[in-house]
Amino acid sequence: MSAGENRSVSKVWAAALVVAAAALLAACNTTKSDATKDAFADDKPAGELYNEGLANLNDNKLKNAIDSFNEVDRQHPYSEYARKALLMSAFTSYRRGQYDDTVSTANRYLALYPGSDDAAYAQYLIGSSYFHQIPDVTRDQDATKKAISSLQAIVDRFPDSEYSDDARNKIIVARDQLAGKEMQIGRYYLEQRDYLAAINRFKTVLTDYQDTREVEEALERLTEANYALGLASEAQTAAAVLGHNFPDSPWYQDAYKLLQSGGLSPSENKQSWISKLFAPKATG
């Protein structure tokens, strides 16, 4: 049972209890009609409450605006004003930076009105809320993953909406963040001389986040790690692929100098997993 249905049931029970009390108390002649009237005496018309919310929002009284919008839903569940007020409550929470409340309210909106014309915007509020909670790369990236998932839902479900382009741009930034997290861990392993663990992290960047800006450094770090392990062919391949794809990159200059210090030069082994990842994709 939804929250709106719970509220409706509560009102029915309240009225019923008043009627029962009236029957038991001889001194009280309250009728069911009177009880119902009393129960709803403080209710305001839905339009009036909704306009109060808009006025408070316009005056930047954001908490008051949320209270007014929530009252529409409480007093007039399932009305058209309740639908609009629910979305405005989510938007106002977003304006306040209360992202958890935004996600909760917008998810409720989508559960109640999945086919609404404003469903794309509700989904956008969810994705943007997670996006604004993306932490530093040194911390857990759960919010980043949720941002990508929520924003991708806009691209997949509402590709023609006005929010899809911004969702795509935010996804690029969020994916860069996840790649950055892998690089941060990989660099740590490299410093600890745990070269195999480092290689696995840098490999993840190339396989899962090849469209991010972290790829150049990942290839250079693969050159370092493989060189340290004595895997000359893999080190040379990583440097060669880096040079082919990012010839002007300072990371390529570093990789080249490292190999040169050991009497080696970039040389691509076409059988290497690194080379295969960057091989031109067959068409048609």
pLDDT at 10: 38
Q: What is the pLDDT of residues 85-101, one digit of tens each?
A: 999 999 999 999 999 99
CA separation (Å) from 44 to 5, 62, 72, 189?
19, 20, 9, 63
Cα(90)–Cα(126) distance, integer angstroms = 9
% pLDDT > 90, the chain: 82
Banded model confidence at residue 284, pLDDT cuts 50, 70, 90: low
Domain boundaries, the chain: 47-98+107-113, 117-213, 218-270
CATH of 117-213, one of 3.30.1240.10, 1.25.40.10, 3.10.20.30, 3.30.1960.10: 1.25.40.10
- Mean pLDDT computed over every residue of the chain: 87
- Alpha helical stretches, state H, 46-163: 46-58, 62-75, 80-95, 99-112, 119-131, 142-157
Cα(268)–Cα(198) distance, integer angstroms = 21
Query: What tokens does 238 get?
Result: 């990583």
pLDDT at 127 over 70: yes
Q: What is the pLDDT of residues 29-42, one digit of tens each?
A: 434 344 444 444 45
CA separation (Å) from 204 to 89, 197, 258?
40, 11, 23
Report helix, strand or coil for 210. coil
Q: What is the pLDDT of residues 35-64, one digit of tens each?
A: 444 444 457 899 999 999 999 999 999 999
pLDDT at 7: 38
Banded model confidence at residue 219, pLDDT cuts 50, 70, 90: very high
Query: What tokens does 99 get?
Result: 């992202």
Instruction: Output the CA torsion sign for 239, 244, 249, 250.
Output: positive
Helices (H) and strands (E) in the chain, counts: 14, 0
% pLDDT > 70, the chain: 84
pTM score, whole prediction: 0.79
Q: What is the pLDDT of residues 14-32, one digit of tens each?
A: 333 333 333 333 333 434 3
Query: What tokens does 146 get?
Result: 């949720």
Cα(152)–Cα(170) distance, integer angstroms = 10
pLDDT at 122: 98
CA separation (Å) from 14 to 43, 82, 128, 232?
15, 22, 40, 80
